[in-house]
Amino acid sequence: MKNLIFNVISAAAFSTVLALAVSPALAEGLADAYQDKFHIGTAISPGSLFDKEVMQLVNAEFNSVTAETNMKLRHLAASQRTYDFNWSDRFVAQGLANKQFVVGHTLIWHRSLPAWFFQQPDGARPSRAQLLASMRQHIYTLVGRYRGQVNGWDVVNEAFNFDGAFRSSPWLDIIGEDYIEHAFAFAHQADPEAELYYNDYGLVNPQKQEAVVALIKRMQKKGIPVHAVGIQGHYSLSYPDLQTLDNTIARFAKLGVKVMISELDVSVLPFPGPEERGEDAEIDSKRAQQLDPYPEQLPDEVMSQFTQRYVDLFCVFLKHHAAISRVTFWGVSDARSWRNDWPLTDRTDYPLLFDRELKPKPVHQELIKLASSYQKVCPLTGNNKDE
């Protein structure tokens, strides 16, 4: 009798274990699936950090977090010479508490600059030496505060034009081309353990790519630490061409730096022409509808294209998994994606893996499956071979 009871109990226990093993509640998240390939990250918007439901999803699915907006200079130091660290302290603390790889974004950029930073107390423009000193001060303040806590920094963001020339900015115009090297050197002094990144979009473009390759080589030659290149990845259903992306990743990997896909999203909306993007562009109502075709929901057919597009992109990333350290999505759900407001404002886009109700789209499961099946599933164009 004793034995029988024992057997019944152990059979019940066994079936519970079995049920747990296959229970969807315990299904692995994206980051688990890619654990031996690369980090899977997401950007945390200002509001997401205070949204319990969103942060639960973040902690279940992602093992890296990037500050989407609130570590940019204008957000930290809006109007005075004082910094407001409320948001960023909480962001870093939550990343640490959840054992995530924490990325600071971004130290030096041509956007999000408060006017006071480029004015002396008497209103005059700072000299090169003065701006270098305040740049160092900014980098020391931020990187120093999170020394040993933020794992990697986007040190310089978007420093080149498509023709490969340095992009005009107060940094370039006042300091000169070596502002980039100084920024990396200051960041390294402030936290010698932190990884340091150059981050940009449009790196599939040959001239821009050439300029960034030259920059990395120059810094390597001078012994200035640069650990990875961030390919932002603001893509669409057709851009960029997969082979070009494949070649781009291979090219940077060859330099001996890591490659990161740092801001991935796939817009399903038509890309407006340059004349449609200005502030006073005139768009009639018919064209406005064409440019914003899915205000209510995404048709199934487009959803399938979207799923396939992400699978194709991940085939390329997985091929290069030895060189890629991280793939970060630029946001969690479509609800807060910046693509609803870029390159045109006020549209309804569907660029991320989770919908407006935070439900995973079919692509989520497909990408999880792909992590273990890509060698069989990815096309034979070379993308199925590990490099």
List residues near ligand XIL by CB under 6 A.
68-69, 157, 232, 263, 338
Tell me the closest approach of the beta carbon of residue 382 to ligand XIL, in angstroms: 30
* Tokens encoding 117: 């930073």
Between 77 and 370, whose beta carbon lies closer to ligand XIL? 77
Q: Which residue is nearest to ligand XIL (CB)?
A: 338
Residues 345-367 as b/e (b if ≥16 CB within 10 A, e otherwise) read eebbbbbbbbbeeeebbebbebb
Residue 38's Cβ-side half-sphere holds a number of Cα atoms within 13 Å equal to 21
**C-beta separation of 370 from 318 below 8 A:** yes
Tell me the closest approach of the beta carbon of residue 48 to ligand XIL, in angstroms: 11
Q: Would you call 104 helix, strand, or coil by DSSP? A: strand
Tell me the closest approach of the beta carbon of residue 274 to ligand XIL, in angstroms: 18
- State the Cα–Cα distance between residues 219 and 215, nearest whole angstrom: 6
Between 327 and 368, whose beta carbon lies closer to ligand XIL? 327
Tell me the closest approach of the beta carbon of residue 173 to ligand XIL, in angstroms: 20
Tell me the closest approach of the beta carbon of residue 338 to ligand XIL, in angstroms: 3
Alpha helices in the chain (DSSP H): 2-22, 30-33, 52-61, 73-76, 86-97, 128-145, 170, 179-190, 206-222, 242-254, 285-291, 300-319, 362-377
Between 227 and 339, whose beta carbon lies closer to ligand XIL? 339
Backbone angles phi, psi at 181, to 5 degrees: -65, -40
Q: Active-site residue 263, yes or no?
A: yes
- State the Cα–Cα distance between residues 63 and 42, nearest whole angstrom: 8
**How does strand 101-108 pair with strand 234-236?**
unpaired
Bridge partners, 41 (sequence order): 64, 328
**C-beta separation of 175 from 118 below 8 A:** no
Between 68 and 349, whose beta carbon lies closer to ligand XIL? 68
Q: How far is CA 121 from the centre of its chain?
A: 36
Between 241 and 341, whose beta carbon lies closer to ligand XIL? 341
Tell me the closest approach of the beta carbon of residue 226 to ligand XIL, in angstroms: 17
Between 296 and 346, whose beta carbon lies closer to ligand XIL? 346
- State the Cα–Cα distance between residues 333 and 341, nearest whole angstrom: 14
Residues 193-217 as b/e (b if ≥16 CB within 10 A, e otherwise) read ebbbbbbbbbbbbeebbebbbebbe
Tell me the closest approach of the beta carbon of residue 337 to ligand XIL, in angstroms: 8
Between 156 and 303, whose beta carbon lies closer to ligand XIL? 156
Residue whose tokens read 């809006």: 78
Tell me the closest approach of the beta carbon of residue 184 to ligand XIL, in angstroms: 17
Residue type, 313: L
Catalytic residue, from 61, 263, 366, 387: name it: 263
- Residue-level length of the chain: 387
- State the Cα–Cα distance between residues 96 and 114, nearest whole angstrom: 29
Between 263 and 334, whose beta carbon lies closer to ligand XIL? 263
Residue type, 7: N
Which residues carry out catalysis?
A: 263
